[in-house]
Structure 1
Amino acid sequence: MAYGPTFRGVRRVWSGPDGAYAEVTLPDVADPTGFGVHPALLDAALHPIGLLDAGTGDGPRVPFAFEGVQVHATGARALRVRLTRAGSSVRLVAVDAAGAPVVSVDALTLRDLGRSAPATAADRSLYALTWPVEEVTAPVTPPTRAELTGDGRAVMAGGGSAYPDVAALVAAVAAGEPVPDAVLLPLPSVSAGDADGVPAGDAADLPGRVRAVTTATLATVQEWLAADALADSRLVVLTRGAVAARDEDRITDVAGAAAWGLLRSAQSEHPGRIVLADLDRDPDVEAWAELAGVVADPTSTGGQVALRGGAVRVPRLARATDDELRLPDGLWHLAPVAPGTLDGVAPVPATAADPAAGQVRIAVRATGVNFRDVLIALGMYPDPAARMGSEGAGVVLAVGPDVTDLAPGDRVFGMFEPGFGPEVLAARERVTRIPAGWSFAEAASVPLVFLTAWYALRDLADLRAGESVLIHSGAG
């Protein structure tokens, strides 16, 4: 991997006792128009970070998180940069040729690439999203609330006024009503189907219905954030069936799930002001009692909760346990043992076999993932005998009695199934040697793409030398 011409902007670098310095320019191929600071220019300004680590024994580090970023001028094509240590972070100040400030970063957190020492098993562990029960302390004084319900009729029992929209609530506050601690926004549910997977309503209109809910939700949230009179309140968005917090949960509200993704971004932009709450029942007095502590202190839960069986659950990343990662002894391959969701995929035992005539046995090093695999896992592929993993790359272990042009140890790639496993038998005519310089991962991503293009351009389009062809950017 090498930097392209756009990212070769460093002209001079040097270090001193108080930091690292550089002169960087934006190559002519890049245009700064429309940027506060062109990303390639800012990237070049960060290249001298390695000088700060020289002699420390630390491994290579790369930018991870920015704090206190200020853009003082736009349109710069050249910068003079100073990088200094700020505790465990780095501070950046960049000026133009005249010394006028262009951009500064108060604290740039760096992440170690991990090359300074071999990674431990813990370093390589996978993480999974879990929803453990969180003990939330109820406030001494319950928070007050209001609801935005579209028609002005209260949804949650147990007190609180209802308003059709933000404007009506703002008008009420202007008329003397107290500012509520919490403003509840119940979202209408849009289901993709019933418990048996039968489409609910017009399935063809499902994207439109989801878009309508998310568009209306975004407009309401923006209006609420812009209302100065409600600056001291928190918006609590209520959904039901939008997240799966337990193994037995099913996501039934696709619009609510989309709204959660949308509003997570809004939460990061407005910390502490928005709470997402997914309920397992219609809003009632008990639900509000469970939410009272979350509204009073959303930082303890990250502002995202699921009420399940009278308990408050919050999303947390946890290391995947050995049980979750354990594979069967011997040979195996992935298969849909419970078709319908991707969680229904599991390793199943496989039988070892010597290659017959026209076959090779391959130790799989990488397998390409195709949408066909998703359909098989979901039980939606038309051929019930199809198996997951149809392209990949690996090392030849053994060859059939009539295979003379491949030998154990050869690196090969091509079409074979089931490819999600340690070994696979493949037809000799469907694999070939990996070109020099290709990794196993690169080789595993090629076969279906290449064959699709070959079939489309040669067999279907019957292209000839000298002809022009238009290939849409979204083509498979």
Structure 2
Amino acid sequence: QTYWLRPAPTHNDPTHLGQSATGHSFLAAAVDTAGTDQVIFTGRLSLDTHPWLADHAVAGTVILPGTAHLDLALHAAHHTGHTHIEELTLETPLALPETGSLHLQVTLQAPDDDGRRTLTIHTRPTDAQDQWTQHATGILSAPTEDGTPSTTLGPWQPAGTHPLDVEDLYDRISTRGYHYGHAFRGLTAAWEDDHHHIQAEVSLPEDIDTHGHGIHPALLDAALHALLATTDEDQTPNTIRLPFSWSGVTLHTPHTRPNRLRARLTPTSPDTLTLHLTDPDTDTPLLTADTLTVRTTDPTKLNPTTPQNSLYRLTWHPATHTPTTDTAPQAATDKWLHLGDDAATTLAETSRAIAAGQPAPPMIVLDTTPHPTSNNHTPHATPERTRQLTTDTLHLIQHYLADDNLRDTHLTLLTHNAITTETGEHLTDPAAAALWGLIRTAQQENPGRITLADTDHTPHTHTHLATALTTAHTNNEPQLALRNGTTHHPRLTPHHQPPLTIPDTHWKLALTNTGTIDNLTLTPQPPDTTPLNPGEVRITVHAAGLNFRDIVVTLGMVHDTRNIGGECAGTVTATADDVTDYTIGDRVMGLFPHIAPTATTDQRLLTKIPTDWTYAQAATTPAVFLTAYYALH
């Protein structure tokens, strides 16, 4: 045991971090941990103690708004002298249970050499010993200047703005999954100019107490609702967009606690914007954010009943509504740009034409089908065609994404039988299959700009292709496959596989054959009761690790006749007479010849488990540590 003492701060010390109230509505205590410079804020969240949170429901699930995560980060920053949020990324939605509460923990790591601190936000149910769920990560720092905005915002409601319809906004957006109740219906007026710059006036209901928040999460969240009132956003069906990350955030007046504000939202891309919040009476800055990124959210990931830590597999599902006739407006599709063999040249010419004043095409379609007379479509030429196709496509996409003239033009890549959507289908263009991995990466980095579409060559598919591409773009579906005219979309679905049957007798993990993990099995084996040789130790195994070698052997990628599974953790049950480093009952981890309920190995291949480690942590350590040790020494 180690004990630490230090003089207690005075009560008027603003950085007092004793085991007492922190001044935040969600956090009850803050602890400055001895010897580590780590700071931990703790509290509880529930709809009983904070009933106004029930007014923030998305797709039927009450979740903590992204603005509340920012509020927690700003509060932690203020208590440690870090007035600036360098970045904050929301990783997992924080769903609030209808009954019961959640343990809340905000952790600040020790400052680095530049004085920055890493922040994490975790919760877990108070009535269970579940693992903590990490919801957000961030970095706190001190601003490089005085922290006040240097840009001139201009007059409120400048010439050229037009009012947005916010009177029945909350009723309209409820049909899209935004279920905002009394506390979050704070948007009272909004305006937009021709450059999509937005101004909004927001106020909290009188019965909402702002005490315990730098800027109340409901007030800040309502400022973002102006995005939902814009013409473009209001016409986008079946999409839910929520805050994903913040960067460059400064709270200029942490003690003001306003119940009204003015917001200026300036889009910098389809998914990013800058944010300036000011006092409506004095026009002084309250909060500024260099970048707020919003992203489309899968509603199924918001439901707290969704199984956690499950295995998922990619499956293709038919679209809910598949048109029976081609309903894509002919006038719109006639404006599409279809790239041919010299795609790069055509793209460059199109960009110059747009710069010269011609209208930008709404969509560019690149068809990757090889020319019928091309020798590169033969199986023997597949590696060369794969290399050429991926290289050319990569260069084309890089130029497309970097060209500001094409920012309002959507790109669709067509492949043909480059993927399979169900059992029995055959992939006939492996070169184009390589594009799917490449383009998926580009889609993640540039959401909403690229669509991947794979087709078969049936007449029905050809008839409905234009409509399918138009619908996918409208509904923000980044990938689709057309099979006999029916549109399919990829979805992650739980993978249900029967568990291994544990034999009644003693067993060990073995392979019946290589090539697939389905060949893993538990084979019966008599218990090991042979006398121990000198230097040997026998343990009861509580956890076993599978490392990279086990994977490649199981898949048949390398030929190795030894057993799989070479690292275990457990409790010593017997030792040879000459073993003095270990006794019965010791918790140990190390290398073993196989995975079984009991295992025997040489004492030189063991070490004791640190007291604060679980068996699972210990079982996954030996191969990793020894690999690094061997590489370094």
Asked if residue 148 in structure 1 is aligned to residue 325 in structure 2, the reply is no
AA partner of residue 439 (structure 2) = L
Structure 1 residue 216 displacement after superposition: 3.4
AA partner of residue 218 (structure 2) = A
1:350–1:239 distance in 2 versus 1, CA, 3 Å? farther
Which residue number in structure 2 is paired with residue 305 of structure 1?
A: 480
Q: Is the 8 A contact 1:150 1:165 kept in 2?
A: no
Which residue number in structure 2 is paired with residue 376 of structure 1?
A: 553
AA partner of residue 327 (structure 2) = V
Which residue number in structure 2 is paired with residue 165 of structure 1?
A: 346
Task: Provide Cα deviations, 1:261-319, integer angstroms capped at 9, x if missing partner.
Answer: 4433543555443211234x4x5654443543431122657221234566433221222
Give the TM-score, by structure 2 length. Answer: 0.48
Structure 1 residue 230 displacement after superposition: 5.2
1:230–1:333 distance in 2 versus 1, CA, 3 Å? farther
Structure 1 residue 183 displacement after superposition: 2.2
Structure 1 residue 414 displacement after superposition: 1.4
Which residue number in structure 1 is paired with residue 276 of structure 2?
A: none
1:147–1:104 distance in 2 versus 1, CA, 3 Å? closer
1:353–1:28 distance in 2 versus 1, CA, 3 Å? closer
Quote the Cα distance in structure 2 between the aligned partners of 1:25 and 1:214: 49
Structure 1 residue 238 displacement after superposition: 2.4
Asked if residue 129 in structure 1 is aligned to residue 314 in structure 2, the reply is yes
Asked if residue 366 in structure 1 is aligned to residue 543 in structure 2, the reply is yes
Which residue number in structure 2 is paired with residue 185 of structure 1?
A: 366
Q: Please, what is the CA RMSD of the aligned residues?
A: 5.2
Which residue number in structure 2 is paired with residue 327 of structure 1?
A: 500
1:252–1:222 distance in 2 versus 1, CA, 3 Å? same
Q: Is the 8 A contact 1:136 1:293 kept in 2?
A: no
Which residue number in structure 1 is paired with residue 144 of structure 2?
A: 75
Quote the Cα distance in structure 2 between the aligned partners of 1:28 and 1:433: 32
AA partner of residue 350 (structure 1) = P
Quote the Cα distance in structure 2 between the aligned partners of 1:187 and 1:306: 15
Quote the Cα distance in structure 2 between the aligned partners of 1:446 and 1:135: 47
Q: Is the 8 A contact 1:335 1:377 kept in 2?
A: no
Alignment of 1:146-295 (within 5 A): 146-151=337-342, 165-170=346-351, 182-187=363-368, 210=387, 213-225=389-401, 233-240=409-416, 243-247=419-423, 256=432, 259-268=435-444, 270-279=446-455, 281=456, 286-295=460-469
Q: Is the 8 A contact 1:267 1:274 kept in 2?
A: yes
Quote the Cα distance in structure 2 between the aligned partners of 1:309 and 1:399: 66
Which residue number in structure 2 is paired with residue 194 of structure 1?
A: none
1:175–1:15 distance in 2 versus 1, CA, 3 Å? closer
Quote the Cα distance in structure 1 between the aligned partners of 2:559 and 2:444: 43
1:381–1:136 distance in 2 versus 1, CA, 3 Å? same
- Secondary structure of the 1:167 match is helix
Quote the Cα distance in structure 2 between the aligned partners of 1:334 and 1:65: 38
Asked if residue 351 in structure 1 is aligned to residue 525 in structure 2, the reply is yes
Which residue number in structure 2 is paired with residue 85 of structure 1?
A: 217
**Alignment partner of 1:95 out of 226, 240, 251:** 251
Q: Is the 8 A contact 1:186 1:237 kept in 2?
A: yes
Q: Is the 8 A contact 2:500 2:522 kept in 1?
A: no
- Secondary structure of the 1:306 match is strand
Structure 1 residue 31 displacement after superposition: 3.7
Between 1 and 2, higher relative CO (CA 8 Å, sep ≥ 6) is seen in 1
Quote the Cα distance in structure 1 between the aligned partners of 2:319 and 2:578: 61
1:392–1:275 distance in 2 versus 1, CA, 3 Å? same
Quote the Cα distance in structure 2 between the aligned partners of 1:402 and 1:170: 82
Q: Tell me, which stretches of 5 or more residues in structure 2 are unaligned?
A: 1-13, 27-70, 83-109, 149-212, 224-245, 255-283, 296-303, 371-378
Quote the Cα distance in structure 2 between the aligned partners of 1:90 and 1:176: 39
Quote the Cα distance in structure 2 between the aligned partners of 1:367 and 1:126: 19
Quote the Cα distance in structure 2 between the aligned partners of 1:76 and 1:257: 50
- Secondary structure of the 1:329 match is coil
Task: Provide Cα deviations, 1:434-472, integer angstroms capped at 9, x if missing partner.
Answer: 24333323422343345456667xxxxxxxxxxxxxx4x
Quote the Cα distance in structure 1 between the aligned partners of 2:627 and 2:448: 49
Q: Is the 8 A contact 1:234 1:295 kept in 2?
A: no
AA partner of residue 416 (structure 1) = F
Q: Is the 8 A contact 2:310 2:494 kept in 1?
A: yes
- Number of residue equivalences: 386
